[in-house]
């Protein structure tokens, strides 16, 4: 397991060898000690009338604390399904997911909600901000609902808005912001409770390339430098070069992908 200490971001530009990604090969099946996530024989089947769609077919995966794992796959390959299972939003047809040795697949819905509230931050492709709340309220309300005192939620909300560069927009409503700005608010919201695990489902998928790069840099900066575990679904091979590990989601399986820093697209296309 490779962990970058004090790693900071470089400009995200095509063709720049910013950070060699790590090829995992056989190490993929070796559970590292201190695993944050352990997935065993995970299967998800959707019933469609008479037919069954097997989206995940006996997946095994171990992710260490502090790792950045990219899930690469075409639309419909099962990336969101896997993230939703890890977050406990959805439940598997079979198999086990452990987070910090807690088998979340045995928990009831309320316990899974509490787990998400305490340990997991989620960033969505379409931001999912609440339109009737201001930027600051979008960040503080979930905290207050989770029992954090309003002044403390405000304080940390303001601090996060400073970090994502939107402190001057705290009283603005989301529809007055650009897509990139909305995603920066969503990142602040996802990090407000200081989660150990951050799940990002195509966080740049709805942004133009330049904005997407800025948002990605921000997300990586705020998670990597804080030593959080990050799992990001994407179909953009460029992102893969930043990861500790890249897994292709295809035909219900996860396959390790070797990424060459200077030729990501050739290897991954
Ligand atoms: N609630 C559902 N009911 C039936 N099929 C679903 C449901 N959610 C996802 N699927 C199917 O599962 C497959 C994987 O979907 P998804 O995980 O969203 O893929 P990705 O995020 O990689 O685009 C797709 O074929 C999709 O149609
Ligand atoms: Mg998806």
Q: What is the pLDDT of residue 8?
A: 28
| CA–CA dist 157, 49 (Å, integer) | 46
* Predicted structure pTM score: 0.85
Dihedral of CA atoms 185, 9, 241, 31 in degrees, nearest 10, equals: -80
Query: pLDDT 10s per residue in the chain (269 long)?
Result: 443 333 322 222 223 322 322 222 333 444 444 689 999 999 999 998 999 999 999 999 999 999 999 999 999 999 999 999 999 999 999 999 999 999 999 999 999 999 999 999 999 999 999 999 999 999 999 999 999 999 999 999 999 999 999 999 999 999 999 999 999 999 999 999 999 999 999 999 999 999 999 999 999 999 999 999 999 999 888 888 899 999 999 999 999 998 766 544 444 44
- Cα(257) to ligand 1 centroid in Å equals 22
User: 153 C-alpha to center of ligand 1: Å?
Assistant: 35
Please name which of 261, 240, 252 lies closest in space to residue 61, comparing C-alpha atoms: 252
Write out residues with Cβ below 6 Å of ligand 1.
46, 48, 53, 55, 73, 75-81
Q: Which of 51, 52, 75, 80 to mutate to test the pocket of ligand 1 (most atoms within 8 A of CB)?
A: 80
Contact in structure between 43 and 94 (CB atoms under 8 Å): yes
Buried b (16+ CB within 10 A) or exposed e, 5-36: eeeebeebeeeeeebebbebeeebeeeeeebb
Specify the pLDDT at position 34: 67
DSSP 159-178: HHHHHTT-GGGTTS-GGGS-
**Per CATH, is 36-268 categorized as 3.40.1640.10?**
no
d(CA 188, CA 153): 12
Report the separation in Å between the CA atom of 167 and the middle of ligand 1, taken as the mean of its atom positions: 37
């Amino acid at each position: 397991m490779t962990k970058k200490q004090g790693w900071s971001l470089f400009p995200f530009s095509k063709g720049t060898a910013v950070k060699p990604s790590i090829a995992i090969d056989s190490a993929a099946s070796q559970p590292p000690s201190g695993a944050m996530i352990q997935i065993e024989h995970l299967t998800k089947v959707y019933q469609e009338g008479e037919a069954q769609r097997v989206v995940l077919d006996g997946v095994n995966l171990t992710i260490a604390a502090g790792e950045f794992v990219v899930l690469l796959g075409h639309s419909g390959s099962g990336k969101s399904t896997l993230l939703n299972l890890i977050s406990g939003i959805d439940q598997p047809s079979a198999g086990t997911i452990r987070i910090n040795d807690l088998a979340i697949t045995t928990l009831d819905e309320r316990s899974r909600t509490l787990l998400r509230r305490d340990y997991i931050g989620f960033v969505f492709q379409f931001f999912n901000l609440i339109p009737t709340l201001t930027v600051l309220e979008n960040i503080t309300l979930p905290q207050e609902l989770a029992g954090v005192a309003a002044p403390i939620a405000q304080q940390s909300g303001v601090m996060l808005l400073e970090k994502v560069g939107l402190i001057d927009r705290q009283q603005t409503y989301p529809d007055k912001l650009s897509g990139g700005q909305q995603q920066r608010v969503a990142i602040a919201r996802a990090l407000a409770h200081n989660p150990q695990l951050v799940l990002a489902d195509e966080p740049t998928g709805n942004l133009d390339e330049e904005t997407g790069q800025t948002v990605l840099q921000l997300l990586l900066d705020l998670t990597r430098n804080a030593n959080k575990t990050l799992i990001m679904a994407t179909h953009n091979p460029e992102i893969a070069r930043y990861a500790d590990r890249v897994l292709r989601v295809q035909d219900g399986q996860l396959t390790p992908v070797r990424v060459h820093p200077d030729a990501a697209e050739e290897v991954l296309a």
